[in-house]
Amino acid sequence: MNKFNKKLKDTIGTEREKIVLEVELQDQTALTEWFINDQPVTANERIEVKNLGGGKHQLVFNRLEVIDEGEITCKSGTLSSSCKLNVRKGESKPNILGPERVDAPVKNPIIFEVPFKSK
């Protein structure tokens, strides 16, 4: 009889980080299917599905994105394990609020105070 020896746990990640979700099944030959918000996971350069052997299976986000947020489910036959994946916004470049053009003499240094807004 198959069961989860290790289930998914709710996880918080940040944009562009690497996150690894892992389950372990008692039946070492059992296959798994992964879902994000009830949609089957399609492996690509950003998301990998791994069978490590020994009943260990991983869903790897090499570069987390906000669209990955939601319910992650791993199914094996009639068994399933789910968790919530929350994705925090990563740092973004600031918006500089300054003049478009600056006119000043070439021989003297110019000092700017640069106001900015971070999203």
What secondary structure does DSSP assign to 18-57, as a single string? Answer: -EEEEEEESSTT---EEEETTEEP---SSEEEEEEETTEE
pLDDT for residue 96 is more than 80:
no
| 110 in any annotated domain | no
DSSP state of 93: P
- Please give the pLDDT value at position 118: 61
Which two structure tokens, joined as six digits, stand for 112? Answer: 């700017």
Could you tell me whether strands 79-88 and 11-14 are parallel, antiparallel, or unpaired per DSSP bridges? parallel
Is 116 within the bounds of a domain?
no
Using the predicted structure, report yes or no on whether residue 98 has a pLDDT greater than 80: no
**Contact (CB, 8 A) for 51 and 60:** no
The range of the structural domain enclosing residue 52 comes to: 4-88
Please tell me the predicted confidence (pLDDT) of residue 107. Answer: 85
Distance CA 16, CA 112 (A): 32
The CATH number linked to 39 is 2.60.40.10
Q: Is residue 96 part of a domain?
A: no
- Number of domains observed in the structure of the chain: 1
The tens digit of pLDDT for each residue in 11-67 reads 999 999 999 999 999 999 999 999 999 999 999 999 999 999 999 999 999 999 999
Closest CA to 63 of 101, 15, 110, 21: 15
Mean pLDDT of the chain: 90
pLDDT of residue 109: 83
Grouping H, G, I as helix, E, B as strand and the rest as coil, residue 10 is coil
The answer to whether position 109 is within a domain reads no
The pLDDT, as a whole number, for residue 32 is: 96
